[in-house]
Structure 1
Amino acid sequence: MSTDWLMLIAIPLVASAVGYVTNWVAIWMLFHPHTEKRLFGLKIPFTPGLIPARRLEIAERLGVAIAKHLVTEESVAARLESCEVRAKIEEIIANYLDDFLTKDLGPLHDLIPSHVKELAYEKVEELMPLLLERFSAVLEDERLKKLIKIEVYEALDRLLTDTLHEESLFGQLKSTLIETFVMSNMDEIKQKVDRTVDEAGQQLGVLLQRAEVRARVYRSLIDAVDELLTHPVGQLRHHIPEEYVSHGRTWATKQVLEILKRETPRMLQALDIQKLVRGKVNEMPIAEVERLILAITSRQLKAITWFGALLGFLIGLIQVALVLGRGGL
């Protein structure tokens, strides 16, 4: 093969290599060098690379693009409406709820702050006079008196009936005594019951005015409060029906979604996506920015590089065709 033919073959190959290297260098110069370079005190052109030199502008524009076109109120609201997000929120709420309901809470004494317990004792002491007054007033109520009398009468009747039906000798003796001394005075007994019940409220009111009685009542109330506080609560799941738990989980999910949708504008405003993206991009080392961009565009950049090789090869073929057309060989 003659030297001329070797040169014609070399032309498209060299042109292809030039196209490849040119595009590769152009892409490399987008990211490199990372810093400004100087020679004899003079700045070397095209340093730093395009992306490092315009990093602040790129970060600003990227933040604007994401804030205005990607992470918007509409896009966030639409995402919150999706079944996937709803299911995830319900799962999170269910996990927290299950953890809370299955936790052994111990006694109320451990759950209530000490100042709340002291406040409860103070309220008992403060409200005790009112409670005693109300209690005395309740005993003076005519309807309650009537109910008490009826209960006493029925209890007395049951006692007499049971005694009169005893078949033993001693039972028959008691029956005779009851018929002799009790049944004949039944009207008088009922009058005494009525009088005792009628006077009970007044007598109790007088009794409750005594300091020692009030002290005993107060002590009893405090003991009742202490007993309540020392009673173990255990797991709330044992005290709450599963139906209520299920409804509570559904209700909580709905409330969380409504709050998130309602507060989305303010949350996005507080987050300031544009500022967040701009700050994160500016904080990243330029090498990390390069890796990030290459991870997204590596296939396209490689295609551009090889396209340069193809274009150079085609240009080389055109040159060969022109040479052959002129009869250069």
Structure 2
Amino acid sequence: MNFVGMLLFMAIIGAVIGGVTNHLAIKMLFRPLKPIYIWGKRLPFTPGLIPKRRQDLAVQLGRTVVDHLLTAEGIRNKFKEPQFLNDLEAWAQTEVSRALESKKTLSEWLEDVGVSGVEERLAEKLNAFIEVKYEELVGQAREKTLSEALPEGLLVKIDSKIPEFSAYILNKGIAYFESNEGRTRLSMMVQDFLENLGSLGNMVQMFISNDTIVNSVQPELIKFLSHKGTENMLTQLLDQEWDKVKGWKVDMLEEKVGRDQFLEFLKRNLNEQIPYKKWLHSSVEQVTALYKKMILEIWVPKVVKAAGDFVDNRIEEVMKRLHLAEIVRKQVEAFPVERLEVIVLSISKREFKMITYLGALLGGLIGIVQGLIVYFVG
């Protein structure tokens, strides 16, 4: 073999060895995934570098992310940027506006966010609240009279309403006896009265019909109910009865009315007066229509500002409680090495090829140098 041929041969051998060695070294970063054993002994360099050091890599990545990448100061500075806050507020307003325009009922919307049985739970809470407040108020006043237990303003108001109540009762009575139903009832009362008179009643009916008697009694009864004196008499009677009731002790009134019946009355009326059932069966858009502008223009900016203040004051504590380093460590440990290999090779494919070529180049140069040494020494 001549000199040039020997140098060329040595260069090719060196280039092949250098290129294959570097290519194998790159592959050994990721492969093999598990240790290989022959006759019970683990082969050196198995598993590959990254599979072998995955836990150490995960720990170091977690520390790096927390200490240098996703830092409390970086997040705090981000929340201080006016443009970021404006963008955050605009996004929040858009999302809240979309939610407020929902056609779903409030009950359905609450079901979607995981709050079920709202109507029943509200009724239970309201009834429980009524019972607690009833025991608080009545329990403290059972030995007091009504005039002592009720607020002075309420007593004065009730006293002032008695004349109105008298007029209301009489007006209802007049309207009733002027109606066909009232006339029929009056005729039945006359009939019952005459029957109770026995033979005298029968004799009266022989000469005067029921209709004649009703025609005579009805105007007089209405005149009586319309008379101012009747109203004054009823007002005086109600005043006297109300004065007696005010002298009752609360426990006596509770006993006469019945605790359970009174509580049931309160529950029924308060459940009817508080329109939560109507709200729950109305759409979110209907329920929030009156408050939408206030929510978007006042509440949302306040919430965004509060979030910024919270981040400014408590971000270190939040990040500690999140254990970000631990999260990163677990994610890295769970990340498939095969997937990591594909990602790294896809990103650095050109660079790894250049490393392989560089190994081949260096191997070729070393082969030439070796050839020269062999030639001159030989």
Q: TM-score range by the shorter chain?
A: 0.5 to 0.7
DSSP-derived class of the 2:106 partner: coil
- Report how far residue 110 of structure 1 moved: 3.3
> Which ranges in structure 2 are unaligned for 5 or more consecutive residues?
108-117, 139-145, 161-231
- Report how far residue 28 of structure 1 moved: 1.6
Deviations 1:20-55 (A, max 9, x none): 212111112222222222333333222222222333
> What one-letter code is carried by the residue in structure 2 that aligns with 1:249?
V
> What one-letter code is carried by the residue in structure 2 that aligns with 1:60?
V
- Report how far residue 269 of structure 1 moved: 1.1
Residues in 2 aligned to 1:43 and 1:112: alpha-carbon distance in whole angstroms: 65
Residues in 2 aligned to 1:314 and 1:263: alpha-carbon distance in whole angstroms: 61
Contact 2:62 2:329 in 1 (8 A): yes
- Does the C-alpha gap of structure 1 residues 306 and 202 become closer, same or farther in structure 2, counting only changes over 3 Å? farther
- Report how far residue 286 of structure 1 moved: 3.5
Contact 1:62 1:277 in 2 (8 A): yes
Residue number in structure 1 paired with 2:275: 229
Contact 2:19 2:358 in 1 (8 A): yes
Contact 2:88 2:304 in 1 (8 A): no
Residue number in structure 2 paired with 1:91: 91
Q: Does 1:252 align with 2:303?
A: yes
Residues in 1 aligned to 2:278 and 2:75: alpha-carbon distance in whole angstroms: 45
Q: Taking structure 1 as the reference length, what is the TM-score of the superposition?
A: 0.61
Residues in 1 aligned to 2:336 and 2:320: alpha-carbon distance in whole angstroms: 27
Residue number in structure 2 paired with 1:104: 105
Contact 1:136 1:205 in 2 (8 A): no
Residue number in structure 2 paired with 1:62: 61
Residues in 2 aligned to 1:47 and 1:225: alpha-carbon distance in whole angstroms: 74
Residues in 2 aligned to 1:15 and 1:6: alpha-carbon distance in whole angstroms: 14
Residues in 2 aligned to 1:304 and 1:65: alpha-carbon distance in whole angstroms: 27
- Does the C-alpha gap of structure 1 residues 45 and 104 become closer, same or farther in structure 2, counting only changes over 3 Å? closer
Residue number in structure 1 paired with 2:19: 20
Residues in 2 aligned to 1:302 and 1:117: alpha-carbon distance in whole angstroms: 74
- Report how far residue 240 of structure 1 moved: 1.8
Residues in 1 aligned to 2:36 and 2:320: alpha-carbon distance in whole angstroms: 41
- Does the C-alpha gap of structure 1 residues 245 and 91 become closer, same or farther in structure 2, counting only changes over 3 Å? same
- Does the C-alpha gap of structure 1 residues 76 and 319 become closer, same or farther in structure 2, counting only changes over 3 Å? same
- Report how far residue 19 of structure 1 moved: 2.3
> What one-letter code is carried by the residue in structure 2 that aligns with 1:248?
W
Residue number in structure 1 paired with 2:155: 136
- Does the C-alpha gap of structure 1 residues 111 and 245 become closer, same or farther in structure 2, counting only changes over 3 Å? farther
Residues in 1 aligned to 2:13 and 2:339: alpha-carbon distance in whole angstroms: 35
Contact 1:281 1:289 in 2 (8 A): no
Q: Taking structure 2 as the reference length, what is the TM-score of the superposition?
A: 0.55
- Report how far residue 252 of structure 1 moved: 1.6
Residue number in structure 1 paired with 2:76: 77
Residues in 1 aligned to 2:129 and 2:336: alpha-carbon distance in whole angstroms: 60
Q: Give matches, 1:137-176, under 5 Å.
A: 137-138=156-157
Q: Does 1:114 align with 2:151?
A: no
DSSP-derived class of the 1:309 partner: helix
Residues in 2 aligned to 1:132 and 1:236: alpha-carbon distance in whole angstroms: 36
Contact 2:89 2:301 in 1 (8 A): no
Contact 1:37 1:48 in 2 (8 A): yes
- Does the C-alpha gap of structure 1 residues 86 and 290 become closer, same or farther in structure 2, counting only changes over 3 Å? farther
Residues in 1 aligned to 2:25 and 2:78: alpha-carbon distance in whole angstroms: 40
Contact 1:12 1:312 in 2 (8 A): yes
Deviations 1:279-304 (A, max 9, x none): 22233343344334435544433332
Deviations 1:235-271 (A, max 9, x none): 2332225245321111122122322343322221122
> What one-letter code is carried by the residue in structure 2 that aligns with 1:206?
D
Residue number in structure 2 paired with 1:151: none
Residues in 2 aligned to 1:21 and 1:88: alpha-carbon distance in whole angstroms: 54
Residue number in structure 2 paired with 1:271: 322
Residues in 1 aligned to 2:121 and 2:40: alpha-carbon distance in whole angstroms: 74
> What one-letter code is carried by the residue in structure 2 that aligns with 1:137?
V
> What one-letter code is carried by the residue in structure 1 that aligns with 2:127?
E
DSSP-derived class of the 1:232 partner: helix
- Report how far residue 12 of structure 1 moved: 3.8
Residues in 2 aligned to 1:29 and 1:295: alpha-carbon distance in whole angstroms: 16
- Does the C-alpha gap of structure 1 residues 3 and 131 become closer, same or farther in structure 2, counting only changes over 3 Å? farther
- Does the C-alpha gap of structure 1 residues 205 and 54 become closer, same or farther in structure 2, counting only changes over 3 Å? same
Residue number in structure 2 paired with 1:206: 243
- Report how far residue 69 of structure 1 moved: 1.4
- Does the C-alpha gap of structure 1 residues 104 and 36 become closer, same or farther in structure 2, counting only changes over 3 Å? closer
Contact 1:19 1:311 in 2 (8 A): yes
Residues in 1 aligned to 2:363 and 2:90: alpha-carbon distance in whole angstroms: 60
Residue number in structure 2 paired with 1:307: 358
> Which ranges in structure 1 are unaligned for 5 or more consecutive residues?
142-194
Contact 1:31 1:52 in 2 (8 A): yes
> What is the number of equivalent residue pairs in this alignment?
271
Residues in 2 aligned to 1:4 and 1:205: alpha-carbon distance in whole angstroms: 135
- Does the C-alpha gap of structure 1 residues 140 and 12 become closer, same or farther in structure 2, counting only changes over 3 Å? same
| Two-structure CA RMSD over aligned residues (Å) | 4.7
